[in-house]
Amino acid sequence: MHTAIRKAGERGAANFGWLDSRHSFSFGQYYDPEHMGFGPLRVINEDRVAPGGGFPTHPHRDMEIISYVLDGALAHKDSTGVGSIVRAGDVQRMSAGTGVRHSEYNASDHSPVHFLQIWIVPEREGLVPGYEQKRFGAEEKRGRLRLIASRDGREGSLTIHRDVDVYATMLAGGESVSHDVAPGRAAWVQIARGALAVNGVQLEAGDGIAVSDADDLRLEGRGEAEALVFDMAMDGLAM
């Protein structure tokens, strides 16, 4: 088994007053040739947006973008006419494909919004832009790995255009979950909040760990914790 730990405090940072963002991989003005992504996983940004703040209209193309809201609510609008509120517990997938312009704002004028923005490189360019949004409540994630996104949309998950399975879990102290990693695949675990151990490695909120050449993953809660697990084909694997 090979592991590589990305500590929360070593991530890139950007603070514009209305936005406090931490970048696990190179993003925007933060460039780190040692951390350009992991396989098809290109971006994990932990964003906190102040009340009334947000990202004005901007373009995207040829990327699968997942928004995982931890606290608060995110207002989304785009050039295709789609508009929605993504609340804590909701997950949204946007396939940028041939190109979209969209904006994301804190839906509240008094409470911050805290979310993870995840970019996955699609299996091919030129897809038709599309959206999907579903709710995965705490009861679905408590003490288990809940599939929230997958290539085939199985088990009620969001559909993404890449061979990546994305799971979410919430673990209390002493709770644990295990996940088999098939040959030729690798995993990334991102700690959204709290603390847990991954195959015995102690991790805190904001930490990430890449795991390859392993038969299984074991996550053990160290108090209340929430994490995402990305199980992916190793094509073009990089860290």
Please give the pLDDT value at position 103: 87
pLDDT in tens, 62-91: 999 999 999 999 998 876 777 789 999 999
Q: CA 169 to CA 191: how far, in whole Å?
A: 10
pLDDT in tens, 132-166: 999 999 999 999 999 999 999 999 999 999 999 99
Please give the pLDDT value at position 79: 67
Please give the pLDDT value at position 117: 97
> And the tokens for 84?
């929605």
More confident residue, 137 or 103: 137
Q: CA 189 to CA 94: how far, in whole Å?
A: 21
CATH number (domain holding residue 217): 2.60.120.10
Question: 238 lies in a domain?
Answer: no
Answer whether 3's CB lies under 8 Å from 209's CB.
yes
pLDDT in tens, 12-32: 999 999 999 999 999 999 999
Answer whether 101's CB lies under 8 Å from 70's CB.
no
Question: 57 lies in a domain?
Answer: yes
Q: CA 131 to CA 93: how far, in whole Å?
A: 6
Question: 239 lies in a domain?
Answer: no
User: pTM for the full model?
Assistant: 0.95
Buried b (16+ CB within 10 A) or exposed e, 210-239: bbbebeebebbbbeebbbbbbbbbeeebeb
- The dihedral sign for the CA sequence 223, 227, 232, 235: negative
Could you give the 3-state DSSP secondary structure of residue 176? strand
Sheet holding 176-180, edge to edge: 176-180, 216-221, 195-198, 201-204
Please give the pLDDT value at position 58: 80
Q: Flag whether pLDDT at 239 surpasses 50.
A: no
Question: 95 lies in a domain?
Answer: yes
pLDDT in tens, 223-238: 999 999 999 997 654 4
**Percent residues over pLDDT 90 in the chain:** 85
**Full domain range(s) for residue 83:** 2-233
Q: How many domains does the chain have?
A: 1
Answer whether 116's CB lies under 8 Å from 67's CB.
yes
Q: Tokens 């995965």 label which residue?
A: 136
Question: 185 lies in a domain?
Answer: yes
Distance linking the first and last C-alpha atoms of the chain: 15
Question: 153 lies in a domain?
Answer: yes
Q: Flag whether pLDDT at 213 surpasses 60.
A: yes
